[in-house]
Structure 1
């Protein structure tokens, strides 16, 4: 295996691992954590939500950063066999997760940090499907790139 092919395999493997970690986490949040929020006692909600936010940040921070860096690399250099279109698709999926997080999820969590609000919780859960879809599609793109390389 050439050095170029090895570098490409490492890049794509790292990218796929980061994206699929995030994908698994977002599906867990979508199907388990967010629905569970509505069933929790309201006493102690602020502390519980603060703990969730703090731990989620620790869990997702590094893999999401790795996804971002590897997406950026894939936009300027791709292993042989991987078309630019797939690099762009990976970047669009990654950018969608950032846009939804910063534009919708963070404001919802900021509001929920002050106390449970059923309407805000419903919006957070509903719009999190967009992140779930973006990460899942990004994971599929990552696997296709691996196969093509």
Structure 2
């Protein structure tokens, strides 16, 4: 599958795919341009993954919302859950390994961990909001 362009109107539908990898980049960025062929080549090998390019210059609001501070930045999602986020271009073998790890991850375990984290955060929020007695 060739890469798709990510933007503010389609970003949510992209990242809620089974597996999606987003390359946040800009045309003036040398490392971004150097990584582009690696990203494109890997996208051709995996019809079951959405490979999306997010132009941070054309989508500054989305880049800010994602807190992209350095480019290139790779974001990898499974079922809408962010599993990987790292700035810097990966060599082809490392990128291929990342893609395989995303395919192999146990999403049932990930969902359990996310639920536990959310429950802990909810409990902490409830504790900070309850009045204390002196």
TM-score (norm 2): 0.29
Structure with more of its chain in helix, by fraction: 1
Structure with more of its chain in strand, by fraction: 2
TM-score (norm 1): 0.27
Q: Which has the higher contact order (CA 8 A, sep 6+)?
A: 1
